[in-house]
Amino acid sequence: MRIPIEQFRLDNGLLVALSQDKTAPIVAVNLWYHVGSANERAGRTGFAHLFEHMLFQGSANVGANEHFELIQRAGGTLNGSTWLERTNYFETVPSNQLALALWLESDRMGALLPAMTQTKLDTQRDVVKNERRWSVDNQPYGTWWEKLPELAYPDWHPFHHSLIGSMEDLEAASLEDVEQFFRTYYTPDNAVLSIAGDFEIEEAKALIYRYFGSIPKGGGKPPLERIDLPPKFGEQLRLVVEDDVSLARIYMAFRSPVFGSDEYYPASVCGAILGMRRGSRLYRSLVREKQIAADASAFTFDLAKGSDILVADVTALPDTSPDQLEAEVGREIDKLATDGVTADEVARAVALIETDMTTAMQSAGDRADRISMFATLLGDPGLVNIQADRYRGVTAAQVNAFASDRLGKDNRATLLYVPRPKQSGDGSTELLEVAAP
Amino acid sequence: MTTSVRPLPGPPREYHFPRFERHVLDNGLNVIVAPVRKLPVVSVAAVIDAGALHDPAGLEGLAELTALSLREGTTLRDGVKLALDLEMLGTSVEAGARWDNTIASMTVLTDRLLPAFEIFAEVLLSPAFHEDDIVRLKAERLAERMQVMAEPRGLADESFDRFVYAADSRYAEPMSGTTGSISRITRENVAEFYRDNHVPGATTLIIVGDVSVSEGWKLAESVFGGWSGSKTELSREADRPARSDRSVRIISRPDAAQSELRIGHRGIPRSHPEYFNVTVMNAVLGGLFSSRINLNLREKHGYTYGASSYYDWRRQAGPFVISTAVQSEVTGEAIAETLREIERMQTEEIGPEELTLATSYLEGVFPIRYETTASIASALAILETYRLPENYYDTYRAMIAGVTTADVLQAARRFVEAEKLQVLVVGNPELVRTPVEALGIGPVSVGEPVDP
């Protein structure tokens, strides 16, 4: 299945991708800025995400929170999100409201700073601190998504530090930081604009030129230095965390090929064989047969630079000790690395991935988001149309080559959550760093 | 550099909810087919009138466990083979019970529909219910119970229901059961629940996507035609409130990094004639990002990452809930601000701009909600479960548009019962108790999480 894509670039460097589908009167506008937590400077962890919040606080011609109000009043949905390598903003609206969505995005890309105030920054800082409490501090295992990158990437690496940020760094963020970040990263030449759904190509182009054409090109962003890593950790990394959880859980990460590379597809299929749905290795072995786990899955972070990670995530049953959990997951990984996979396992994984990719294309918002992803991370929106072929081309031999190379003991970072003993004191999180066994 | 001229919308393009046709097989199975020829994708859902309200007293969670057991193997293939055979076709069957139904569903690419559909039918018609699979599923459910008790959001939702509803009302207990009730369920209970409730006369089969009506009917007839069984109706009062005065309950989590807050009371059933007025009123109060409660608690005060309100629509009166998580130190202020917003909703009519924000949002997002075959199948499942009029989705936007500011005021006065509000906090009592008592809302009690 192919979707139509027309792409072009404005003089100011903005890359535009259009994908028409008139089956419903809906259109999605999707902007990816090629900046994420990886671009934060020292002492400003969490800033890229805090900045995402500030983009909803108005711009030269839009009041605070008016972006939300105007889109909802138009009958649309919207949001934004921040990841290590990118930040995205998106609206899905009735197709007769395309101009509104484009105008709103252009106003904040072209003229955000006049609307920025200390009060708005202070309020959003409080909101983000509460987001941190809600999603990290007050959630069982909530710290995993900062602890795992901390363990899996060296402390000098751009992917090492917390995406949501520390309370101290959030506290330190200033209006000057907002201005500098905006001028450096929120420029048309560092962004991709995708439109998917019901629109007329020429009308959309005219609107894009009108609203985005005069926004000046940026002065270039500083490159991410020292992002490349060796293909393997070269040792076993391990961190044990006692936490307010009732069941032990393990996250076992493997350095893996970056998103979109030739080697990525066998790695992704290997992840699906390991942990996608109930027919996967981990689920069948640990949940169904040995009955030591409550759930099991595997996924990749989909990072396009430096090094990606493939993560196996398994939650124990109450009677399973953390050691047993770790040993059994290790055994499954060993088996896969040593004995390899079958052609049927590859076929199962590819069939599931193919269905997911096709069904995602039903939604204009998902369609636009994937186009933006390929355009931003790999420079070509059209790659969305060859993904199924890339997956269908994966062979068991390729998966086995990946598994024997990358799933060995010299390429594992293990984050193990252990239930805290009931009567232990003040509730502060104890960390036990344990040497590699 | 940028233009200050705000663009106006063009003329809207017409939209209608996908056409669907209905056909009843001789065995009573209701079949709905909705052709949607956008992509080579088909979603299938079996909606069975066997929700958690059908759980026998003391065996709460039986509907859910029965639904989950469907996927554990049939008389023709064991659980592993079942999962693998479906997954080789790029799909899997999801199954679960809600308050008012059990739904089994799958989404598959058109060229694999036939073999997948046969297995889907096998799952519904010939489950094996092996003893060891049920024992394992129970262990997984009990582990899930431990997770809920350790997770503040789920614990708050569950504790709120337990606080609001009378102890002998089904809605007081979690939909999927408690540690005690799940432990009591046997294989025989599951088999019996299946026999009594999973029957063609109580099931609607929904097929949405890249198929024609006649293909859909033929498919249904060919594999479900031989299914038999009849159903015994039951009705059990599930929604009696625990008390009629305001009161506050603190569930103690001394290490909590935040207070999970739930404020509300017993709401109204889905069949209530004021449904549309209440829906618009709730959108203004707490149903949207730009709603009063979120703008106040999040954007004005920075107390929270988000605050919202909803009516949990069920056949009987599910709860009306305002839900948020706030910094522990401002728990009292957050409750006070919420009560202020409720009072404002009940004393002054909202302005026309605020009304149209809610109504044009609800009208506008209507087509966006139904972009996928799976979401259309879910909409049809709601239509069936709540016995909504056949033209419900064709008239939805007109019904929303018909709501007036006077309707909203009246709905806020009748269906938000300020004098009956129940407040539940999952948080640190040392930080929370005194400021909450100082609000003078009603009696304040502190307790531990319970999982009978």
Mutate which of B1, B2, B69, B77 to test chain A, going by most A C-beta atoms within 10 A? B2
Interchain proximity A26–B371, CB inside 8 Å: yes
Two structure tokens written together for A311: 């993560």
What is residue B339's predicted lDDT score, i.e. its pLDDT?
98
Q: Which residue has the tokens 């983000």?
A: A128
* Predicted ipTM of the assembly: 0.95
Instruction: Return d(Cα A83, Cα A60) in angstroms, integer.
Output: 27
Q: How confident is the model at residue B236 (pLDDT cuts 50, 70, 90)?
A: confident
Judge whether B71 is closer than 8 Å to chain A, CB to CB.
yes
Query: Is A278 in contact with B363 (Cβ distance < 8 A)?
Result: no
Q: Which residues contact A330 (CB under 8 A, 6 or more apart)?
A: A252, A412
C-alpha A48/C-alpha B75 separation (Å) is 55
**DSSP, residue by residue, A180-248:** HHHHHHSSGGGEEEEEEES--HHHHHHHHHHHHTTSPP--------S----SS-SEEEEEEEEES-SS-
* Of residues B290, B305, B366, nearest to A72 (C-beta): B290
Strand A249-256 vs strand A411-419: parallel, antiparallel, or unpaired? antiparallel
B222 touches chain A (CB under 8 A): no
Residue B266 has pLDDT above 80, yes or no: yes
Contact A74 B326 (CB under 8 A): no
Residues in B touching A128 (Cβ below 8 Å):
305
**Could you say which of B1, B90, B362 has the minimum Cβ distance to residue A355?**
B90
Q: What's B130's DSSP letter?
A: -
A154 Cβ partners below 8 Å, 6+ apart?
A160, A229
Residue pLDDT, tens place only, B76-128: 999 999 999 999 999 999 999 999 999 999 999 999 999 999 999 999 999 99
Test B136 with A216 for CB contact under 8 angstroms: no
Closest Cα in chain A, distance from residue B293 (Å):
14
Nearest-CA distance B438 → chain A (Å): 24
Q: Please name the member of B10, B288, B295 whose beta carbon is closest to the beta carbon of A96.
A: B10
CA A134 to mean position of chain CA atoms: 19
Question: What does the block give as tokens for B385?
Answer: 């479960």
Specify the long-range contacts of residues B111-117, CB closer than 8 Å, at least 24 apart. Answer: B111/B40, B112/A351, B113/B42, B113/B211, B113/B219, B114/B219, B115/B89, B116/B86, B116/B89, B116/B91, B117/B44, B117/B219, B117/B223
Q: Is B350 within 8 Å of chain A by CB?
A: no
Closest residue in chain A to residue B354, using alpha carbons only: A73
Residue with tokens 């186009």: A371
Q: pLDDT digits over B120-175, tens only?
A: 999 999 999 999 999 999 999 999 999 999 999 999 999 999 999 999 999 999 99
What gap in Å lies between CA A215 and CA A11, rounded to an integer? 10
> Shortest CB distance from A133 goes to which of B257, B363, B374?
B257
Cβ–Cβ below 8 Å for A351 and B3: no
| CA atoms in the 13 A half-sphere facing the CB of A1 | 18
Q: Taking CB atoms and an 8 Å cutoff, what residues of chain A touch B364?
A: 74-76, 93-94, 97
Separation CA A258–CA A245 (nearest Å): 32
- From B91, B112, B290, residue closest to A69, measured CB to CB: B290
pLDDT score of A431: 42
Q: What angle, 0 to 180 degrees and rounded to 10, lies between the N-to-C axes of helices A118-132 and A47-54?
A: 120
Shortest distance, CA B246 to any CA of chain A (angstroms): 27
C-alpha to C-alpha distance for B80 and B68, rounded to whole angstroms: 14
Q: Is B140 on the interface with A (CB under 8 A)?
A: yes
> Average pLDDT for residues B417-437, to the nearest whole number?
97
Q: What is the pLDDT of residue A423?
A: 58
For A66, nearest residue in chain B (alpha carbons) = B290
Task: Tell the residue number behind the tokens 């059933």, with chain if given.
Answer: B269
Nearest CA in chain A to B330: A130
Instruction: Kindly write down the DSSP assignment for every residue of B352-376, as one continuous string.
Output: HHHHHHHHHHHHHTHHHHTSSHHHH
Q: Of A298, A281, A398, which Cα lies nearest the Cα of B87?
A: A281
Q: Which residues contact B256 (CB under 8 A, 6 or more apart)?
A: A138, B152, B328, B426, B427, B428
Q: B252 with B448: CB under 8 angstroms?
A: yes
| Separation between Cα atoms, residue A23 and residue A242, nearest integer Å | 52
Of A1, A61, A288, the CB nearest to B4: A61
Q: What is the pLDDT of residue B3?
A: 79
* Residues of chain B contacting A214 with CB distance shorter than 8 Å: 1-2
For residue B240, the distance in angstroms to the closest alpha carbon of chain A comes to 32
B351 in reach of chain A (CB within 8 A): no
Torsion of CA B434, B438, B442, B443, to 10 degrees: 30
- Kindly report the nearest CA distance between residue A358 and chain B, in angstroms: 8
Q: Which residue, B401, B263, B239, is CA-closest to B336?
A: B263
pLDDT digits (tens, 9 = 90+) for A210-263: 999 999 999 999 999 899 999 999 999 999 999 999 999 999 999 999 999 999
Which chain B residues are within 8 Å of A284, Cβ to Cβ?
80, 83
Contact across the interface for A95 and B305, Cβ inside 8 Å: no
- Candidates A53, A72, A100: best to mutate against B (most CBs of B within 10 A) is A72
**Tokens for A372?**
């933006």
Cα angle for residues B190, B195, B201 (degrees, 5° grid): 135
Nearest CB partner across the interface for A359, out of B41, B150, B368? B41
> Would you give the DSSP letter of residue B72?
G
Question: How many CB pairs lie under 8 A apart between chains A and B?
Answer: 235
Task: DSSP for B315-350, please give it.
Answer: SS-PEEEEEEEE-GGGHHHHHHHHHHHHHHHHHSPP
Supply the pTM of this predicted model. Answer: 0.96
Nearest to B83 among A131, A198, A278 (CB): A278
Give me the sign of the Cα torsion angle A213, A215, A219, A222: negative
Closest CA of chain B from A276, distance in Å: 10
Which among A122, A210, A317 has the least Cβ separation from residue B143?
A317
CB atoms within 10 A of CB A93: 30
**Alpha-carbon distance A385 to nearest alpha carbon in chain B (angstroms):** 14
Instruction: Give the count of beta carbons closer than 10 Å to the beta carbon of residue A31.
Output: 27
Q: Residue B358, Cβ neighbours under 10 Å: how many?
A: 26
Q: What is the mean pLDDT of chain B?
A: 96
Closest B-chain CA to A288:
B136
Distance from CA of B27 to the nearest CA of A (A): 33
Mean pLDDT on B244-273: 97
Strands (DSSP E) found in B152-280:
203-209, 247-252, 259-266
Q: Distance from first CA to last CA of chain A, Å, rounded?
A: 49
CA distance B52 to chain A (A): 23
Chain A CB contacts of B83 under 8 Å are 277-279, 284
**Which of B 376-435 lie inside 8 A of A, CB atoms?**
none
In chain B, the residue whose alpha carbon lies closest to the alpha carbon of A135 is: B305
Chain A residue with minimal CA distance to B89? Answer: A351
CA max distance for chain A: 68
Residue A287 is given by DSSP the state I
Query: How distant, in Å, are the alpha carbons of A433, B67, B155, B178, B359 from that of B144?
Result: 29, 16, 12, 10, 39
Residues of chain B with Cβ-Cβ distance to A364 below 8 Å are: 371
Q: Nearest C-alpha of chain B: how many angstroms from A186?
A: 15
Per-residue pLDDT of chain A (437 residues; tens, 9 = 90+): 899 999 999 999 999 999 999 999 999 999 999 999 999 999 999 999 999 999 999 999 999 999 999 999 999 999 999 999 999 999 999 999 999 999 999 999 999 999 999 999 999 999 999 999 999 999 999 999 999 999 999 999 999 999 999 999 999 999 999 999 999 999 999 999 999 999 999 999 999 999 999 999 999 999 998 999 999 999 999 999 999 999 999 999 999 999 999 999 999 999 999 999 999 999 999 999 999 999 999 999 999 999 999 999 999 999 999 999 999 999 999 999 999 999 999 999 999 999 999 999 999 999 999 999 999 999 999 999 999 999 999 999 999 999 999 999 999 999 999 999 875 444 434 343 433 33
